[in-house]
Amino acid sequence: MLLLSGCGLGASGSGEDRVSAAPVADIDCARQGQVPGSGSTAQENAMKYWIRQYQRACSSVQVAYNPLGSGAGVAQFMRGATAFGGTDSPVRPDGVKPAEGVCPGGRAINLPMVGGAIAIGYDIPGVDDLVLNAPTLAKIFDSQITAWDDPAIRKLNPSAELPSLPIRAVHRADDSGTTQNFQAYLAGAAPEVWTHPAEKAWQGKGGGSAPGSSAVASTVASTAGSIGYFELSFAAALRIKTARMATGASEPVAATPESASAGIAAAEVVGEGKDLTLRFDYRTAADGTYPIVLVSYEVVCDKGNMAETLPALKSFLTYTASDEGQKPLARIHYVPLPESVATEVRRVVSTLS
């Protein structure tokens, strides 16, 4: 329960304070309990909002979330240190297994809880509108394109005053679901360029690194010539300019909650049983559809959850997947789950034991 000292009670950030004054949500509260979670930094700002709203209605329950990164969050859950793990890349059925005594009689499952755009943030002096495509982006992050006035970038931005400035690409230093989703996009949309596997650990050549989405965004915000990837809420919080993606649509697509929602709505549920893993189409050319998206999951046991946390866990996750938990997310630069997915998440949460 030391995790309760992490990111949790009453914290605000990334626009969340603008919606925290909403009326107290109508929540079916647990009588009492503590619900520690940890993991994805991409869902950190959404989790801050949810915890604040939940505890306004359910003051007898303590919920805390420590944004350690997806890899660490899954690892802590799998050894029984938390009631749930947050991850931007689903746990595979043939992947890491819970430790003995964790999920007795059951297994770990993935519950999608919040969507988002992976924004491509940049700091190029004098450039307020940058267009990139998948092959060029892949070459930038693999150190094949190393200057901002490279011909490939100039071709995509004929009217921009691109400086002769070295590119400083910044990636995550820690194991990260955001990294895995970003690399999955590069491999899916530009397979002839990005030949690396879509792992949680960074696979590209060169570049700088920073731990967590917040640190990557802060590095980009303070470093001329830099470019990095992080969830859109971090770009909004630090007012970082973000690139538009040329996908083959009639116009390059900006990263917004609306354009990311279009990408997520087309996802396919590929999980089995109670597992609700989604699969995306990274090569979409549909107008207004941003292709670099992720869904952040909560990993829980379908059976064998800790008895002392189960009632509060179910209460909290039922709220986060509800209309009251999902609809405000767009105002803090996230993407609410499609209603068909949210309904299924609530159904599965009600069956957790």
Chain center to CA of 30:
27
Residue 86, strand partner residues: 39, 298
User: Do 64 and 170 lie in a common domain?
Assistant: no
Backbone φ and ψ of 2, nearest 5°: -60, -20
Q: Is residue 288 assigned to a domain?
A: no
pTM for the model: 0.79
Q: Are residues 155 and 47 in the same domain?
A: no
Give the pLDDT confidence of 285-308 residue by residue, as tens digits: 999 999 999 999 999 999 999 999
Mean pLDDT of 205-227: 97
Q: Is residue 40 part of a domain?
A: yes
Cβ burial of 266 (10 Å; 0-12, 13-18, 19+) is middle
Q: Structurally, how many domains does the chain consist of? A: 2
What pLDDT is recorded for position 148?
98
Q: Are residues 172 and 237 in the same domain?
A: yes
Residue at a domain's end among 223, 248, 264: 264
Domain with 6, as residue range(s), is 2-115+297-351
The closest of 66, 50, 171 to 114, measured between CA atoms, is: 50
Do 130 and 230 lie in a common domain?
yes
Inside any domain, residue 75: yes
The yes-or-no verdict on residue 1 having pLDDT over 70 is no
Decide if 291 is inside a domain.
Answer: no
Q: What is the pLDDT of residue 24?
A: 72
Both 342 and 314 in one domain: the answer is yes
160/251 same-domain check = yes
Closest CA to 322 of 107, 57, 90: 57
Mean pLDDT of 177-194: 96
Does residue 230 have a pLDDT over 60? Answer: yes
Predicted confidence (pLDDT) per residue in 69-125, tens digit: 998 999 999 999 999 999 988 998 777 789 889 999 999 999 999 999 999 999 999
* Residue 205 pLDDT greater than 60, yes or no: yes
pLDDT band of residue 3 (cuts 50, 70, 90) is: very low
Residue 287 belongs to a domain: no
Residue 153 shares a structural domain with residue 258: yes
Label residue 333 by pLDDT band (50, 70, 90).
confident
**pLDDT tens per residue, range 7-42:** 443 333 444 444 545 567 789 999 999 999 999 988
Same domain for 92 and 203? no
Final residue before a domain boundary, out of 264, 289, 323: 264
Same domain assignment for residues 164 and 232: yes
- Comparing C-alpha atoms, which of 115, 114, 111, 43 is closest to residue 350? 111
Whether residue 10 is contained in a domain is answered as yes
Does position 161 have pLDDT exceeding 90, yes or no? Answer: yes
Q: How many other CB atoms sit within 10 Å of the CB of residue 62?
A: 18
Residues facing 228 on adjacent strands? 121, 170
* CA nearest neighbour of 172 among 113, 231, 128: 231
Residue 173 within any structural domain of the chain:
yes
Mean pLDDT, to the nearest integer, of 216-240? 96
One domain, residues 30 and 169: no
Cα 202 from Cα 215, distance rounded (Å): 15
Q: Does the structure show a pLDDT above 80 at 216? A: yes
86 and 146 in a common domain? no
pLDDT reported for residue 94: 74
CATH code where residue 129 lies = 3.40.190.10
36-72 pLDDT, tens digit each: 999 998 899 999 999 999 999 999 999 999 999 998 9
| pLDDT above 70: residue 178 | yes
Whether the pLDDT of residue 4 is over 60: the answer is no
Is the pLDDT at 5 greater than 60? The verdict is no
Distance CA 110, CA 182 (A): 19
- Give Rg (Cα) of the chain: 20
What one-letter code names the amino acid at 321? A
Q: Output the six-digit token pair for 187.
A: 């491999």
Q: Which two tokens stand for residue 248?
A: 């083959």
Tell me how far apart the alpha carbons of residues 54 and 312 are, in angstroms, rounded to a whole number.
11
Asked if residue 276 belongs to a domain, the reply is no
Q: What is the pLDDT of residues 251-281, one digit of tens each?
A: 999 999 999 989 888 888 899 999 999 999 9
Whether residue 100 is found in the same domain as residue 140: no
% the chain with pLDDT above 90:
81
| The amino acid at 256 | T
